[in-house]
């Protein structure tokens, strides 16, 4: 790809991300604007700003950190909202930079990725999009429809498979997910696949059952290869806001989460939660989604996200 095409594509993605995050950035910058008429940065103003940041799902720890940075150089000086947004964007980028880590495939046959998350988080769609992206990189990809409780999830994965020309290992609804994952891995090895993506159920209302099922899938596929899964991606829906924290806690308890995918940023005014998650859990954010198309799921970039969040 030429440098010019790459640059045009990057600009296009930046525009989509900015537009997707507009509801979140309007919520944050609107509250900053509401607080400001050019005035001195005093304690009262800092408290108001901190409350606005917490209300925008950035979380208490992040809000406190941003306020400290702002107060350090600017306390008791005149400041306007543009300067505040620039300072906040810079510090948010500092928080996000360590977690902006795209998914790196190892030269394994196959690199096994277990995809987890609650129902409705966009798990199955994310798997379909990742499969399309890996395939575009010249990788041989296989999908395993391990959410055997939802016939719709199996059908959805088959549609993505057909769309991308990727094989899908599936069984009848209600079948044994661990057995299916075992068969998929055996087949992926035999057929020299580069990547195996395994979908899983996400019924949190039955946490004990779900925990046991995920543990069983991992136990069973380890019989073929003790090193699998090589990655466990947790898919989070940005519209859930602060609920995303408890989902990370729960899934970390169930399996060794190696990275996060944050979806539906375009449908949410709660995109600030991604910053709070980065600050609290320090887990890699491998991809973010701002739409339905396969190209709307992209590797996460700290600076672009921080500036979009602050409407810059």
User: Could you tell me if 50 and 124 lie in one domain?
Assistant: no
- Please report whether residue 290 resides in a domain: yes
Tokens of 142: 């296989």
Per-residue pLDDT for 21 more than 90? no
- Please report whether residue 309 resides in a domain: no
**Average pLDDT of every residue of the chain:** 90
CATH number for 251: 3.40.50.300
Query: Under 8 Å CB-to-CB from 290, ≥6 apart: which residues?
Result: 16, 17, 19, 20, 21, 265, 266, 296
Number of domain units in the chain: 2
pLDDT tens digits for 203-256?
A: 777 788 888 899 999 999 999 999 999 999 999 999 888 899 999 999 998 899
User: Could you tell me if 128 and 196 lie in one domain?
Assistant: yes
Residue 38 has what pLDDT?
A: 59
Q: What radius of gyration do the chain's Cα atoms show?
A: 21
Residue that wins the pLDDT comparison between 281 and 295: 281
Least confident of 28-32, 34-38, 111-115, 133-137: 34-38
Per-residue pLDDT for 5 more than 70? no
Least confident of 25-29, 59-63, 193-197: 25-29
Separation of alpha carbons 16 and 1, rounded Å: 21
Q: Which domain holds residue 7?
A: 3-99
Last residue of a domain, one of 52, 67, 99: 99
User: Could you tell me if 268 and 168 lie in one domain?
Assistant: yes
Per-residue pLDDT for 25 more than 60? yes
Give the E-state strand segments of 117-162 in sequence order: 141-144
Give the E-state strand segments of 134-263 in sequence order: 141-144, 168-169, 195-199, 231-237, 259-263
User: Could you tell me if 72 and 177 lie in one domain?
Assistant: no
User: Could you tell me if 126 and 61 lie in one domain?
Assistant: no
Q: Confidence class of residue 15 from pLDDT cuts 50, 70 and 90?
A: confident
pLDDT tens digits for 34-69?
A: 887 657 889 998 999 999 899 888 999 999 999 999
Share of the chain above pLDDT 70, in %: 96
User: Could you tell me if 138 and 266 lie in one domain?
Assistant: yes
Is 144 in contact with 176 (CB distance < 8 Å)?
A: no
C-alpha to C-alpha distances, 33 to 72, 82, 269, 311, nearest whole angstrom: 21, 9, 17, 12
Is 275 in contact with 309 (CB distance < 8 Å)?
A: yes
Strand pairing report for 285-289 and 297-299:
antiparallel
pTM value is 0.93
User: Could you tell me if 197 and 295 lie in one domain?
Assistant: yes
- Please report whether residue 256 resides in a domain: yes
What values do phi and psi take at 235, rounded to 5? Answer: -95, 125
CATH number for 13: 1.20.120.140
């Amino acid at each position: 790809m030429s440098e010019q095409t790459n640059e045009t594509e990057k600009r296009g993605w930046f525009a989509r991300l900015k537009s997707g995050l507009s509801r979140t950035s309007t919520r944050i910058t609107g509250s900053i604007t509401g607080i400001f008429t050019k005035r001195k940065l005093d304690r009262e103003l800092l408290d108001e700003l901190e409350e606005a940041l917490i209300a925008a799902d950035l979380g208490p720890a992040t809000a406190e950190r941003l306020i400290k940075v702002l107060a350090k150089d600017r306390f008791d000086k005149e400041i306007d909202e543009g300067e505040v947004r620039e300072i906040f964007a810079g510090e948010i980028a500092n928080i996000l930079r360590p977690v902006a880590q795209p998914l790196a495939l190892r030269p394994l046959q196959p690199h096994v990725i277990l995809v987890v998350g609650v129902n409705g988080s966009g798990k199955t769609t994310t798997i379909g999009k990742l499969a399309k992206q890996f395939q575009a990189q010249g990788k041989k990809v296989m999908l395993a429809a391990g959410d055997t409780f939802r016939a719709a999830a199996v059908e959805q994965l088959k549609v993505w498979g057909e769309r991308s020309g990727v094989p899908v290992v599936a069984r009848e609804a209600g079948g044994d997910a661990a057995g299916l994952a075992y068969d998929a891995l055996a087949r992926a090895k035999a057929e020299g696949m580069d990547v195996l993506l395994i979908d899983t159920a996400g019924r949190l209302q039955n946490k004990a059952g779900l925990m046991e099922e995920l543990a069983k899938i991992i136990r069973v596929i380890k019989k073929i290869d003790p090193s699998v899964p090589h990655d466990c991606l947790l898919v989070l829906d940005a519209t859930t806001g602060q609920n995303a924290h408890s989902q990370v806690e729960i899934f970390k308890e169930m399996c060794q989460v190696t990275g996060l995918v944050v979806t539906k940023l375009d449908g949410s005014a709660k995109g600030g939660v991604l910053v709070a998650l980065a600050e609290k859990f320090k887990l890699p954010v491998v991809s973010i989604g701002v739409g339905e198309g396969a190209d709307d799921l992209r590797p996460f970039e700290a600076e672009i996200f921080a500036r979009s969040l602050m409407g810059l």
